[in-house]
Amino acid sequence: MFSYQVIVDNLPQLLWAARLTLLVSVLGIGIGLILGAALCAARLSPVRGVRMVSAVYTSFFRGVPLLVQLLLFYYLLPVIGINVPAMVAAVGTVGLCSSAYVAEYLRGAINAIPPGQREAAVTLGFSPTRIWTRIMLPQAFRISLPALVNELILLVKASSLVSLVGITELTRTSQALSSATYRPLEIFSSAAAVYLVLNLSLALLGRFLEKRSAI
């Protein structure tokens, strides 16, 4: 019989683990935004070699499953003499993967900006760097905000994969509690509810930011 007491007893541990899930996701999207902006600039570069390198990067991280990327980097780094904690390897991989998607979101948003704005900035004497950082990127982030929020929600769900490299986030904690209590239905139902609350909260935050940025 379904036991609500099991949920009450174990929910605090699940909520604590959810903090790590959210941390991995937020750090991942943070890295993704920074690298994604640079990668987007490379994708739009007039230099053909730069465009090709960025295209290969984007194709790799969008074409290979995140799970395979996690395992690859987790086992590859020690082989080449780079010993980092599992948390660093996991967040780094999530961020690298996210940057490929963020770059494409921003590239699509920049292509939606009227070219006359760039031409006007050039006429006014703005440098290419100022055009990019003060005119193009701010508008691109605003246009692509729904897609970026959706990316963060996807990362929250995808963060369950980091449990395979020893990170005790929500999914791994759920597995441990399920084995300890022999009540998998209650434990995983609770975990599903926590994931749902996290993602609904992020969706509401995204809608709020969209309304603010539209003012």
Please measure the distance between the N-terminal and C-terminal CA atoms of the chain and give it in whole angstroms: 52
| pLDDT for the residue 214 | 65
Distance CA(99)–CA(96), nearest Å, equals 5
Residues 6+ apart with CB under 8 A from 30: 95
> Backbone dihedral region of 2: left (phi > 0), alpha (psi from -120 to 50 degrees) or beta?
beta
Question: Which of the 8 DSSP states describes residue 132?
Answer: I
User: What CATH code is carried by the domain that includes residue 8?
Assistant: 1.10.3720.10
Residues 6+ apart with CB under 8 A from 35: 95, 96, 99, 102, 103
Residue pair 36/102 in contact by the 8 Å Cβ criterion: yes
pLDDT in tens, 37-76: 999 989 888 889 999 999 999 999 999 999 999 988 888 8
Say whether 208 sits in a helix, a strand or coil.
helix
* Structural domain harbouring 142: 4-214
How many other CB atoms are there within 10 angstroms of residue 202's CB atom? 19
| pLDDT for the residue 209 | 83
Domain count within the chain: 1
pLDDT in tens, 115-127: 888 778 778 778 8
Instruction: Report the pLDDT averaged over residues 179-196.
Output: 92
Smallest CA-to-CA distance from 61 within 108, 107, 100, 106 is with: 100
